[in-house]
Each structure stands twice: as structure tokens, then as C-alpha cells.
């Protein structure tokens, strides 16, 4: 036993923040990485993408992905550039969506470096991209598809099982079973809401000794108001005035959810059947994946959606080229434009806002989380002007916010954790800002009676079976030593 290294987890990203999700798993047989996310958002965080990776990239035998959002897979091309040449295991949906978002991310990294070189703000000369589009395309050949609910041997003595997380297409929680210690660790990945209109809710956890749980909304409960009522009123009213409804939406999944609601509103006659334009190349490609998977009857979808043609009631047009997008400017309302990015930080939606936000007949419908400092957040808080392309534009359009989150809220997270059977010895809370993580830890302890701690960046913990300790007696507590954190890598 002494000669066998104990299985260890190391939280190298996504701890203390909602991006950069990465956890190393070391066993006697090798080393894997669960998720390989990009740090995003504030500059201080983004700079972490440039720091040396904590272990040699070529010491990692395999990467396991929970889903295709960049904060969970966007570092992969970089890891490959640094020398990781092993397999990347993920579900079919994740493979297809990663094939869209990773090359796009590489393209953006290149554009950012080119911009830095033009205006000379980089410390490095010349400024280099974190990775290129070509690097991102190259790493796609390392992706291997796994089936949901089918254990896969990822290392000798280490089985991984992907279970539906209901967050976006392909999203999974990952359970790891270590044969040597006969213990199971379950990574939540990002969990969806039980109310996702297209996807089935998250699967149960099943047996788990250790759970690593996300806490993006660990301190929030989503509003219970029906978003369709608000959408119906805004669209009908704007249509009466001959105006345009602009809906900034994240390209992957949120666009599909918005369209699903629009489809129902049209099908039931609650809004006029206006022309709808999806104006985002990435959203169009993701839409193609959702449509083909639904048509093929993917079991990730709700039964009523399987085998169907999505959004059949609407007059939907996808504008692919820049010229088609620009042509929308001269088109008169009423109509609906769904365009990325969801927080109006970039993408084609900025052009539409610049063109339409000054007209009181139009409306901007915000459908998701708006990070502080973004244009979406400014609009949500009633800004009188927003700045785009160096100009301040007056906001005269009506601005309305609804909640179509792809993320589980606190109740959803607790509900999912309660499905662990038998209950875990400990829950490590990660993937959240400090306040959200602390609130979730408290709720897990108070309401579920489980031990929970916040995963700290760089922290190492064991996931073998803890020695029996007498909780009532003098044995040390779970937190103090049974799941002992050790220092160093
Ligand atoms: Zn996600």
C-alpha cells in the first residue's frame, strides 16, 4: 500500500473564479486533466492563461471534457502547443460544438494580438496570440467521442463515466472510479436548469465519495416569472409600432432557447409571425448542430423534441455573410434580430445596437447574465448612452431584461447534490466567485448536512477512502486531516 501513490486531485483552475476550469487527477497509473478551460473576463484573469502550466503538458495522459464552453475547453489548443499530444475524451455534442468554438477562439486570439501590435499596447514585441486558429483546428484531431453512461477506462484502474448535465448540448458531469482505492469522485461540470425547454435535466449523481460542484449561481435563485409573457408583450408592442426587437444572445444554446420560446409564441398566436433573423455565424453553426441532433433523435433532448424539426413555426433567416448582415440595416421593421454576443461585448449585435438603439420604436431584449462593465449591463441598468465604435449613442429604445439562464441556481445545485447516494464524504465547491461559493458551502452544510469546502487555487486533496475516524471521539475531523490538503504540486 505504501508504495502506491494515493489518488490526488489538484485544483489548477476554476477555483475561486468562474473561468479556467481545470482539475488534475493523479493516480498510480498516470495523470489526467478534467476540463481544460480558458481564463476569461478581467485582464488579471486572462493573464493567467500565459502563466506556465503547473505541470509539464506532456506529463498529462488524457484530458476529459465536461462541455464545449470556452471556460471549460478553451485552453486545449494551448495545452497541445505546450506538448500535450494525448487523447481528449468528450461526448459527441461537445466534440461538434468544440469544433465550432475553438477555431473561433483561435481566430479571436490572433485578432487581439494583431490589434495589440497595431496600437502597440503589448509588453511583448511582437504580441503573440495564445494560440492560432490553426492550433485550434489541429487539436480537434485529438478529440475522441464517448457515450453517455458508458464507463470508459481512461487509465489503467481509472474509469470515467459521462452523465447528462442538461447545461448545453453535449454537457456532462464526469464520474471517476479509482480501482485501487475503490473511491468515486464526481465532477459536476456546469449544471443546467431543470426547466431547459430542449434538453433533459441533469442526471442523478449516484454513488460518490467526493463531489466537485460548480457554484456559478451558488448565492442566487432565478426568478420564477414566466419569460414568455414578457417576451410576448415586448414583441407585440414593438411590432405595433413597426419597430425592431434586438435580442443579444450567446451563440451556443441561448440562441436555441430564445428561438424555442419565439417558436411557441408564434405557434400559439401570442405574437405576430414576424421575420426573425439569426445574425451570428457561430450561432448559425451551433444551430445546425442542435437541429441535426434533434432531428436524429438524440437522447439528450426532451422526448417531445426528439425527431422533430426545430423552430418550424417561425419565419427564420440566417444571415451568413457580412453583406447579408449589413443589409439588415436598411430593412424596416417590424422584425426580430437575434445576434451575438449575449452581453453586447462584441460581435454583430453591436452594429445592430448602433443602428437601432436611438429609435424609441425599437426594443432591446436582454435574455441572460450581464457581467458588470459590459454594454449589456449598462443597458440593463438604464444607461442613457452606450459607447460603441468610439461614439456615445443615446439609448431611446425600450430595454427589457428576462432570465433565460443556462445555469443551475442554488436550489438546482442543492437538488442535484442531494441525488448522491450514498451521500459523499465531502463536497469541494469550485467554479464560482467567492461569495457564490461561500453561500453554496453554507447551504450544503445547513440544508444537506454534508461537509463542504471551497476548492482553493493550487490546492491538492486526496480522493482515496478516508481512514475510519470517530466523529464523537478524539479522532481528527474530516476537514483537518482525513481529506488532507498537502502543499506543493
Ligand atoms: Zn458552461
- Give the model confidence (pLDDT) of 109-125 as tens digits: 998 888 888 876 666 67
Q: How far is the CA of 171 from the centre of ligand 1 (A)?
A: 8
Q: What's the pLDDT at 44?
A: 82
Q: What's the pLDDT at 124?
A: 67
Q: How far is the CA of 413 from the centre of ligand 1 (A)?
A: 14
CATH number at residue 348: 3.40.50.10890
Q: What's the pLDDT at 121?
A: 62
Least confident stretch, 115-129, 153-167, 381-395, 404-418: 115-129
Strands 315-318 and 275-278: parallel
Q: How far is the CA of 167 from the centre of ligand 1 (A)?
A: 7
Q: How far is the CA of 190 from the centre of ligand 1 (A)?
A: 5
pLDDT band at residue 332 using 50, 70 and 90 as cut-offs = very high
Q: How far is the CA of 72 from the centre of ligand 1 (A)?
A: 7
Kindly state whether residue 1 falls inside one of the protein's structural domains: no
Least confident stretch, 44-58, 89-103, 141-155: 44-58
CATH number at residue 97: 3.60.15.10
Q: Is the pLDDT of residue 486 over 80?
A: no
Residues near ion ligand 1 (CB < 5 Å) are 69, 190
Nine-digit cell string for 99: 469544433
Q: How far is the CA of 100 from the centre of ligand 1 (A)?
A: 15
287 and 152 co-located in one domain: no
Q: How far is the CA of 200 from the centre of ligand 1 (A)?
A: 16
Kindly state whether residue 168 falls inside one of the protein's structural domains: yes
379 and 428 co-located in one domain: no
Q: How far is the CA of 454 from the centre of ligand 1 (A)?
A: 19
Q: How far is the CA of 181 from the centre of ligand 1 (A)?
A: 31
Q: Is the pLDDT of residue 422 over 50?
A: yes
140 and 157 co-located in one domain: yes
Work out the number of other CB atoms within 10 angstroms of the CB of residue 61: 18
The last residue of a domain, from among 344, 377, 401: 401
Give the structural domain span for 289: 227-401
385 and 461 co-located in one domain: no
Kindly state whether residue 3 falls inside one of the protein's structural domains: no
Q: How far is the CA of 67 from the centre of ligand 1 (A)?
A: 7
Kindly state whether residue 352 falls inside one of the protein's structural domains: yes
42 and 158 co-located in one domain: yes
Q: How far is the CA of 488 from the centre of ligand 1 (A)?
A: 29
Over residues 435-453, mean pLDDT: 94
Q: How far is the CA of 5 from the centre of ligand 1 (A)?
A: 33
Q: How far is the CA of 283 from the centre of ligand 1 (A)?
A: 16
Helix (H, G, I), strand (E, B) or coil at 303: coil
Q: How far is the CA of 346 from the centre of ligand 1 (A)?
A: 19
The last residue of a domain, from among 362, 383, 401: 401
Q: What's the pLDDT at 220?
A: 85
Kindly state whether residue 233 falls inside one of the protein's structural domains: yes
143 and 280 co-located in one domain: no
Over residues 211-221, mean pLDDT: 90
Kindly state whether residue 290 falls inside one of the protein's structural domains: yes
pLDDT band at residue 346 using 50, 70 and 90 as cut-offs = confident
The pTM of the whole model exceeds 0.95: no
Would you give the DSSP letter of residue 305?
A: T
Select the more confidently predicted residue: 52 or 488.
Answer: 52
The last residue of a domain, from among 401, 426, 449: 401
336 and 424 co-located in one domain: no
Cβ burial 143-167 (10 Å sphere, 16+ → b, else e):
beebebeeeeebbebbbbbbbbbbb
Q: How far is the CA of 192 from the centre of ligand 1 (A)?
A: 9
Q: How far is the CA of 168 from the centre of ligand 1 (A)?
A: 7
Q: How far is the CA of 406 from the centre of ligand 1 (A)?
A: 8
Helix-strand-coil split of the chain, %, nearest 5: 30, 20, 45
Q: How far is the CA of 257 from the centre of ligand 1 (A)?
A: 15
Q: How far is the CA of 403 from the centre of ligand 1 (A)?
A: 16
Kindly state whether residue 2 falls inside one of the protein's structural domains: no
What is the residue-wise DSSP string for 50-117?
GSPPSS-GGG--EEE-S-SSHHHHTTHHHHHHTT--S-EEEEHHHHHHHHHHHHHHHHHHHHHHHHHH
196 and 233 co-located in one domain: no
Q: How far is the CA of 116 from the centre of ligand 1 (A)?
A: 28
Q: Is the pLDDT of residue 483 over 70?
A: no
Q: What's the pLDDT at 479?
A: 39
Q: How far is the CA of 197 from the centre of ligand 1 (A)?
A: 17
Q: What's the pLDDT at 319?
A: 96
CA 191, 21, 8: angle at the middle one, nearest 5? 100
Kindly state whether residue 137 falls inside one of the protein's structural domains: yes
Q: How far is the CA of 239 from the centre of ligand 1 (A)?
A: 34
Q: How far is the CA of 243 from the centre of ligand 1 (A)?
A: 33
277 and 204 co-located in one domain: no
**Tally of structural domains, the chain:** 2
160 and 192 co-located in one domain: yes
Would you give the DSSP letter of residue 371?
A: -
390 and 271 co-located in one domain: yes
Select the more confidently predicted residue: 202 or 16.
Answer: 202
Over residues 305-330, mean pLDDT: 94
248 and 362 co-located in one domain: yes
Amino acid at each position: 500500500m505504501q508504495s502506491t501513490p494515493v489518488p490526488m486531485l489538484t485544483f489548477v483552475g476554476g477555483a475561486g473564479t468562474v473561468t479556467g476550469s481545470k482539475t488534475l487527477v493523479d493516480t498510480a497509473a498516470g495523470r489526467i486533466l478534467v476540463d481544460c478551460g480558458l481564463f476569461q473576463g478581467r485582464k488579471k484573469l486572462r493573464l493567467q492563461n500565459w502563466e506556465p502550466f503547473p505541470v509539464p503538458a506532456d506529463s498529462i495522459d488524457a484530458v476529459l471534457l465536461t462541455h464545449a464552453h470556452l471556460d471549460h475547453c478553451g485552453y486545449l489548443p494551448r495545452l497541445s502547443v505546450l506538448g500535450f499530444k494525448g487523447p481528449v475524451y468528450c461526448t459527441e455534442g461537445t466534440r461538434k460544438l468544440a469544433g465550432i468554438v475553438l477555431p473561433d477562439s483561435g481566430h479571436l486570439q490572433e485578432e487581439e494580438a494583431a490589434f495589440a501590435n497595431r496600437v502597440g499596447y503589448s509588453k511583448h514585441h511582437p504580441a503573440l496570440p495564445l494560440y492560432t486558429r490553426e492550433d485550434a483546428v489541429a487539436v480537434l484531431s485529438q478529440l475522441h467521442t464517448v457515450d453517455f453512461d458508458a464507463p470508459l477506462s481512461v487509465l489503467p484502474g481509472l474509469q470515467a463515466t459521462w452523465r447528462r448535465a442538461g447545461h448545453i448540448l453535449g454537457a456532462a458531469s464526469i464520474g471517476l472510479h479509482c480501482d485501487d482505492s475503490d473511491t468515486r469522485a464526481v465532477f459536476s461540470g456546469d449544471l443546467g436548469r431543470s426547466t431547459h425547454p430542449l434538453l433533459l435535466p441533469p442526471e442523478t449523481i449516484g454513488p460518490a465519495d467526493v463531489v466537485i460542484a460548480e457554484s456559478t449561481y451558488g448565492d442566487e435563485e432565478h426568478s420564477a416569472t414566466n419569460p414568455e409573457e414578457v417576451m410576448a408583450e415586448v414583441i407585440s408592442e414593438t411590432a405595433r409600432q413597426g419597430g425592431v426587437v434586438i435580442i443579444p444572445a450567446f451563440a451556443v444554446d441561448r440562441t436555441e432557447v430564445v428561438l424555442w420560446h419565439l417558436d411557441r409564441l408564434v405557434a400559439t398566436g401570442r405574437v405576430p409571425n414576424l421575420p426573425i433573423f439569426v445574425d451570428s455565424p457561430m450561432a448559425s453553426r451551433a444551430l445546425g448542430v442542435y437541429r441535426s441532433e434533434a432531428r436524429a433523435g438524440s437522447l439528450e433532448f426532451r422526448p417531445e423534441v426528439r425527431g422533430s424539426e426545430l423552430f418550424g413555426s417561425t419565419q427564420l433567416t440566417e444571415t451568413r455573410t457580412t453583406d447579408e448582415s449589413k443589409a439588415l440595416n436598411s430593412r424596416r421593421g417590424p422584425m426580430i434580430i437575434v445576434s451575438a454576443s449575449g452581453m453586447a461585448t462584441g460581435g454583430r449585435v453591436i452594429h445592430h445596437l448602433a443602428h437601432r438603439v436611438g429609435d424609441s420604436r425599437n426594443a432591446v431584449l436582454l435574455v441572460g447574465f450581464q457581467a458588470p462593465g459590459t454594454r449589456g449591463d449598462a443597458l440593463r441598468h438604464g444607461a442613457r448612452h452606450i459607447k460603441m465604435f468610439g461614439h456615445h449613442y443615446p439609448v431611446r429604445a425600450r430595454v427589457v431584461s428576462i432570465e433565460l439562464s443556462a445555469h443551475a441556481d442554488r436550489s438546482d445545485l442543492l437538488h442535484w447534490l442531494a441525488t448522491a447516494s450514498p451521500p459523499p464524504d465531502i463536497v469541494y465547491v469550485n467554479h464560482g466567485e467567492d461569495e457564490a461559493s461561500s453561500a453554496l458551502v453554507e447551504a450544503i452544510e445547513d440544508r444537506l448536512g454534508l461537509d463542504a469546502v471551497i476548492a482553493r487555487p493550487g490546492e491538492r486533496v486526496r480522493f482515496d477512502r478516508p481512514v475510519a475516524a470517530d466523529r464523537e471521539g478524539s479522532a481528527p475531523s474530516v476537514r483537518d486531516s482525513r481529506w488532507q490538503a498537502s502543499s506543493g504540486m
